[in-house]
Chains A and B, each alone.
Chain A
Amino acid sequence: MSASDLAPITNSLPFLLQGLGLSVLLTAIAMVGGIVLGLVIALVRLTRVPVLAPFAALYVNGFRAVPLILVIFWFYFLVPLLLGRSVGALYSVLIAFVMFEGAYYSEIMRAGLQSVRVGQWQAAKALGLGYLQTVRLIALPQALRNMAPLMVTQGVILFQDTALVYVVSLHDFMTSVSIVANNTSSPVEMYVFAALVYLAICQVGNALAGRLKRASRTA
């Protein structure tokens, strides 16, 4: 690539960085929100809370059956309708991502908590610990070792999925790249550049997941 090929990138760097910032922000909020929501859903299902547990199962299976794009459209349409005023795409998208990721993270948490040996739960019970105490003090710390790599892997998928906000024209990295590509008629340079950026960031995430996996094996 010559310097002139890079001009569209260098000229619009602040704009692209802003887009990347939004992608990272979306990923972070959806990950944290999704993990918290996922933990609640997992606990509701594991303890078989009456009425709520079947509802939680329906929630998880429902969200896992439909495409994220459709979920984004749903909330883009629903949120203003429910609030009675328009709040902009960002809030709809944030809610959509947190709800969607909550379904996926709940499955990781559920499997993780279930992987803690029965004897550990019984030992805690014998010591007089309550259920939530057992989860907090005994089960989660152990399960976290197994779950951490999967949570990071899910985060890498989530980071890639944020590109889908393109469909509601929110200016994340992908959308910003496509705007620059159109305005400067340089799709080859821009999209190859974007691919390299995503590749690099996701590789860092994968490397982290790999390290966590090795750590959980040796621990």
Chain B
Amino acid sequence: MTYSWNWGVLLQEPYLQWLGWGLALTLAISLSALVIALSVGTAVGVLRSSDHAVLRAVTGAYISVFRNIPLLLQMFLWFFVVPELLPAGAGHWLKRDLPYPEIVTAIVALGLFTSSRIAVQVSAGIDAVPRGQRMAAKAAGLSQLQAYRLVLLPQALRIIIPPLTSEILTIFKNSSVALTIGVYELTTQTQQIQSITYQGFEAFTAATILYVAIAMTVTVIMRAIERRVALPGTTSGGLHVRF
């Protein structure tokens, strides 16, 4: 194996700047998508857990569609297909006037893709709350909405913190798929550096270290949250449930 090392390339301009921008874009896309994924996912998960047959069917179809089509293809669908299917005016606006269309597309696609997975976890978490809790809330005269907000969701969300952590880690990794629609996020930038300088080792090592750092940060934050919301007098957040 012949390879000429040059770690200095990472500190040269413009490559250092490329890495910085790539990292910033990866964080921005992932965090924005996370907001969409958590809010849509929780809403869909709650509706999925209701005993209303139509709601269950609709949310089931939603989850099925967003879970079973590759993320890469979902990005293509939002980018190339949706603007064509919309009324002319809206499609035109998406293609011409929307600022940073590829970034917005990546955020929406990644957010909705992940929302289906979070919805599954939320509804499993609600199902894992003992049935008696629903009854106690009902017996006290709470409305359905109050029962979810005050009794069921606070318990369900605690139960799903571990699987939710891995979903959040995945969202950062999956943001790299935005590369395929031309977003210059972290993976794209390192691939660019490699193809220009041929210093693949250095470029990919930099990206690897940054992704590992992101993963470690997310893990530390989620552990802190888990400890913070853990219920006194119990182990593992107090609500031991196996999926």
> A residues bordering B, Cβ < 8 Å?
62, 64-70, 73-74, 77-78, 81-82, 84, 156, 160-161, 163-164, 166-167, 174, 178, 181, 187-188, 191-192, 194-195, 198-199, 202-203, 206
Judge whether B208 is part of the interface by a CB distance below 8 angstroms.
yes
Q: Contacts A67-B187, A69-B176: A160 and B71 contacting too (C-beta < 8 A)?
A: yes
Q: How many residues of B contact A (CB 8 A)?
A: 39
Q: Which residue on chain B has the smallest CB distance to residue A201?
A: B68
Judge whether B84 is part of the interface by a CB distance below 8 angstroms.
yes
Contact (Cβ within 8 A) A67 B176? yes
Contact (Cβ within 8 A) B187 A69? yes
Q: Which 5 A-B residue pairings sit nearest by Cβ, starting from the closest?
A: A202-B68, A67-B176, A65-B215, A77-B200, A163-B70
How far, in Å, is B188 (CB) from chain A's closest CB? 9
Q: Give 19 A-B pairs besides A66-B211, A202-B67 with Cβ atoms closer than 8 angstroms.
A: A65-B169, A65-B215, A66-B207, A66-B212, A70-B190, A73-B187, A73-B190, A73-B194, A78-B200, A156-B68, A163-B72, A166-B180, A167-B179, A188-B84, A191-B81, A192-B77, A198-B69, A198-B70, A199-B64
How far, in Å, is B187 (CB) from chain A's closest CB? 5
Contact (Cβ within 8 A) B64 A167? no
Judge whether B53 is part of the interface by a CB distance below 8 angstroms.
no
Report B197-222 CB contacts with A as 1/0, cut-off 8 Å.
00011001001100110111000000
Q: How far is the CA of A187 from the CA of B3 in the complex (A)?
A: 42
Q: How far is the CA of A69 from the CA of B3 in the complex (A)?
A: 23
Would you call the interface of chain A mostly helix, strand, loop, or mixed?
helix
Q: List 17 A-B contacts (CB under 8 A).
A: A62-B208, A64-B215, A65-B212, A65-B214, A66-B208, A67-B176, A67-B211, A73-B194, A73-B200, A77-B194, A163-B70, A166-B72, A181-B80, A198-B68, A202-B68, A203-B68, A206-B68
Q: Which residue on chain B has the smallest CB distance to residue A181?
A: B80
